[in-house]
Structure 1
Amino acid sequence: MSTIGEVIKCKAAVAWEPNKPVVIEEIEVAPPQENEVRIKIVATSVCHSDLYHLFEYMHPEGFPTVLGHEAAGIVESVGPGVTEFQPGDKVIPVFLGQCRECRFCKSPKTNQCELAWTRVSDVILASVESRFTCKGKKVLQFMGTSTFSEYTVVHQSAVTKIDPAAPLEKVCILGCGLCTGYGAAVNVAKVEPGSTCAVFGLGAVGLAAVMGCKDAGATRIIAVDINSEKAEKAKVFGATEFVNPKDHNKPINQVLVEMTNGGVDYSLECVGKVEVMRSALESCIKAWGISVIVGWTDVYNVTVKPLSLLCGRTWKGCMFGGFKSKDGVAQMVKAYLEKKLMVDEFITHNMTLDQINDAIGLMKDCKCIRTVITLSPQ
């Protein structure tokens, strides 16, 4: 029985308020409007940005919401004006859109998009409009995607069509973390062959950054984390050394400077803590070091001494790994299918939507890299 043009009732994990468990509810998902795509989510994964909104940022106007923004699914129906997609297409929704028409999309200097800025509010971290309701109340769509739901509606500028051969329960994690970390090394830092790198934080984003440094030809890749259990996993992705800041009685930036005869060529901060951002910057060699902020936070300010930059260091920000989202995700899926990119190795747990709070707990307690939630068979 066709659902096209009809309201769909389905299960979703609703975050009614901050710092509380999400609740499995029946929600109503309206048909897609102009330039929108309704997607049946096959698989989604839990990213730290979901936890950030729920437990750290906790903006009161950002609730109720359906979290989730790393996912893959199948197009169920399309709204007026959509020509790029049709029912049955395998797709990945992305939190950072690419309209391909604005001055930012046409510029090789950035992966930002003017249309994306107008569609997702950076105050509530949700779409300015929502196709979700639950118990008669409007429910926000987190980052314009909301993938902890069996169905979601996304603007066509934030959906990328992928190879139909791609296993959705694997490539779903390319919707955020892997592209963010990998691209930070390859696209933003532009790591050079023979260089020395330091990656701070070994979650999925950090491990992807390690992999990016390796693929870019770095000779020495120092993985930094306060959890020594992550050392062996970092080596799987290309780390040559591991340093735990807790094992030293001096600041970690001093440790790295001493280890590398003045500092690393490139450092990537993949934690989202301002004190780590400063440490990553100061671990770079003064004359030409490049440090990239990859971790997401908007809670605290970061402060550095001007001399940390005056001698020649470069400090850069990075969103979604510098990938123009629709193009970049499709390219990464292709690389995975050609066995040029590790993806499976990031997935440590598989669960169902009913277990979403357990999956959130694993991420909160740093007991996983990526947990994939299966919502429906392909």
Structure 2
Amino acid sequence: MKMRAAVLEQFGEPLVVQEVDLAEPKQGEVLVKLHACGVCHTDLYTASGADPTGYAPCVLGHEGAGVVEAVGPGVESVVKGDHVVTLFAPECGECLHCRSGRTNRCLAIRDMQGDGYLPDGTTRLSRDGAELRHFMGTSTFAEYTVMPEIALAKIDKAAPLDGASIFACGLSTGLGAAIYTADVQQGSSVAVFGCGLVGLGAIAGARIAGASRIFAVDLAAGRLEMARHHGATDLIDPSKLPEGEDAVTAIKALTDGFGADYTFEATGNVGVMRQAVESAREAWGLATMIGVAGKGETLDIVPRFLITGRRVTGSSFGGVRGRTQVPLLIDRWLRGDVDVQALLSHRITLDEVNTGFDLMHHQDGIRTIIGFD
């Protein structure tokens, strides 16, 4: 079939919206008509050429939601008409990692997915007879996508698809980091560094988990106010602190000198990551790294902060098991636990996809949504 898609032709250049070909789904695959897609920092990171694992040409996009149009042979978990969220982090339920119950890092299709192919080592995307590679196994900057069944989460049809799309990456990553990875406990104190979509998700997740105090750290007044809306009790703008003070000293001052029980870093800045470690409470503080650092960057930690009891962990997609737990997070939204619509700051068409990147460059809004309806 013919469809329109945003193609990354060359790193560092604007995406080109053009007509491409999409083949029918094969064994274990599903054709999805996309209705909405978020413009995520990971897409921009790859398009810029900064991602050492990136490749071109390919169809970008990974934060999508839509309706099943057709299924290939062997597909059992979804049927035509089901509403789904696309998953760059699949859940096969059968590999060692899935069966362990200890991680969401499914092994089933990782190698092929990382190289831009579907599980059988081929693509369903092409242009003028030449293959186009998939991105993160999803390629949702397009009117349709073909994906493995194990990389789709079936969701309640009551959930608006524009809001559901951000559960495909950013919002689930933040919510899950607090609820699943860190397992924030009721009555605890939490500090979140960075109040973009992922950080706001962590704040909402900490509130849902019952944290008594939530410190939001950001340089943008608008994002700090959004953090308050989603559950932050204390707002910290490091640029407005007295000379010689930083977010670490501010958080310690607000916690009787001890630091927060849980800290989350959602900026990708290694200097901020270090602050997240240093502002975690001695003896049991847990610092969770969510942000993606630049190529070749390293995190320096003074060993004293670890041998006195602090722990550091990472979180991939918030530890969320996509097919099992994304629907549960969306159910929380439908129950009123998360104000998703407040996070959808801009709405654009596929032809305006590069505008979505520009808005991200200028930190304008929280999440830009491409609509296909």
Q: Which of 288, 296, 301 is 2:298 aligned to? A: 301
Local SS of the residue matching 1:57: coil
TM-score, normalisation: structure 2:
0.94
Q: Which residue of 1 aligns with 2:148?
A: 155
Q: Which residue of 1 aligns with 2:190?
A: 197
Q: Which residue of 2 aligns with 1:319?
A: 316
2:202 maps to amino acid: A
- Residues 1:109 and 2:109 are matched in the alignment: no
The 5 A counterparts of 1:254-269 are 254-260=249-255, 261-269=257-265
Q: Residues 129 and 200 from structure 1, CA distance in 2 versus in 1: closer, same or farther, beyond 3 angstroms?
A: farther
Q: Which residue of 2 aligns with 1:5?
A: none
Q: Which residue of 2 aligns with 1:137?
A: 130
- Residues 1:278 and 2:278 are matched in the alignment: no
Is the CA contact 1:50–1:67 (under 8 Å) kept in the aligned structure 2? yes
Local SS of the residue matching 1:18: coil
- Residues 1:62 and 2:58 are matched in the alignment: no
- The alpha-carbon deviation at position 335 of structure 1 amounts to 1.9
Q: Which of 31, 43, 54 is 2:24 aligned to? A: 31
Local SS of the residue matching 1:62: coil
Paired positions, count: 367
Q: Which of 8, 13, 17 is 1:15 aligned to? A: 8
In structure 1, how many angstroms separate the alpha carbons of the residues matched to 2:235 and 2:116? 35
In structure 2, how many angstroms separate the alpha carbons of the residues matched to 1:216 and 1:60? 35
Q: Which runs of 5+ in 1 are unaligned?
A: 1-7
- The alpha-carbon deviation at position 292 of structure 1 amounts to 0.3
The 5 A counterparts of 1:217-256 are 217-248=210-241, 249=243, 250-256=245-251
Is the CA contact 2:159–2:334 (under 8 Å) kept in the aligned structure 1? yes
Alignment deviations for residues 260-312 of structure 1 (CA, whole Å, 9 cap, x no partner): 22211110001112221111111111211001011123612222122121111
Q: Which runs of 5+ in 2 are unaligned?
A: none
Local SS of the residue matching 1:205: helix
Local SS of the residue matching 2:163: helix
Local SS of the residue matching 2:69: strand
Local SS of the residue matching 2:327: helix
Is the CA contact 1:267–1:290 (under 8 Å) kept in the aligned structure 2? yes
In structure 1, how many angstroms separate the alpha carbons of the residues matched to 2:363 and 2:54? 28
Q: Which of 41, 65, 80 is 2:34 aligned to? A: 41
Local SS of the residue matching 1:114: coil
Moved more, 151-160 or 295-304: 295-304
Is the CA contact 1:37–1:77 (under 8 Å) kept in the aligned structure 2? yes
2:76 maps to amino acid: T
1:253 maps to amino acid: V
2:270 maps to amino acid: V
Is the CA contact 2:202–2:264 (under 8 Å) kept in the aligned structure 1? yes
Local SS of the residue matching 1:139: strand
Q: Which of 178, 181, 194 is 1:185 aligned to? A: 178
In structure 1, how many angstroms separate the alpha carbons of the residues matched to 2:116 and 2:132? 13
Q: Which residue of 2 aligns with 1:83?
A: 76
Local SS of the residue matching 1:276: helix
Moved more, 244-253 or 185-194: 244-253
The 5 A counterparts of 1:87-102 are 87-102=80-95
Alignment deviations for residues 92-150 of structure 1 (CA, whole Å, 9 cap, x no partner): 110000001112112221112111423321xx577554211124432221110010000
In structure 1, how many angstroms separate the alpha carbons of the residues matched to 2:238 and 2:57? 38
Moved more, 100-109 or 315-324: 100-109
2:15 maps to amino acid: V
TM-score, normalisation: structure 1:
0.93
1:113 maps to amino acid: C
Is the CA contact 1:17–1:64 (under 8 Å) kept in the aligned structure 2? yes
Is the CA contact 1:62–1:126 (under 8 Å) kept in the aligned structure 2? no
Q: Residues 126 and 176 from structure 1, CA distance in 2 versus in 1: closer, same or farther, beyond 3 angstroms?
A: farther
Q: Residues 166 and 56 from structure 1, CA distance in 2 versus in 1: closer, same or farther, beyond 3 angstroms?
A: same
- The alpha-carbon deviation at position 21 of structure 1 amounts to 0.9
Is the CA contact 2:208–2:337 (under 8 Å) kept in the aligned structure 1? no
In structure 1, how many angstroms separate the alpha carbons of the residues matched to 2:92 and 2:222? 42
- Residues 1:333 and 2:330 are matched in the alignment: yes
Is the CA contact 1:96–1:116 (under 8 Å) kept in the aligned structure 2? no
Is the CA contact 1:75–1:86 (under 8 Å) kept in the aligned structure 2? yes
In structure 1, how many angstroms separate the alpha carbons of the residues matched to 2:35 and 2:54? 29
- The alpha-carbon deviation at position 60 of structure 1 amounts to 7.8
Local SS of the residue matching 1:115: coil
In structure 2, how many angstroms separate the alpha carbons of the residues matched to 1:126 and 1:335? 33
Identity of aligned residues (%): 39
Is the CA contact 1:272–1:297 (under 8 Å) kept in the aligned structure 2? yes
Q: Which of 185, 190, 200 is 1:207 aligned to? A: 200
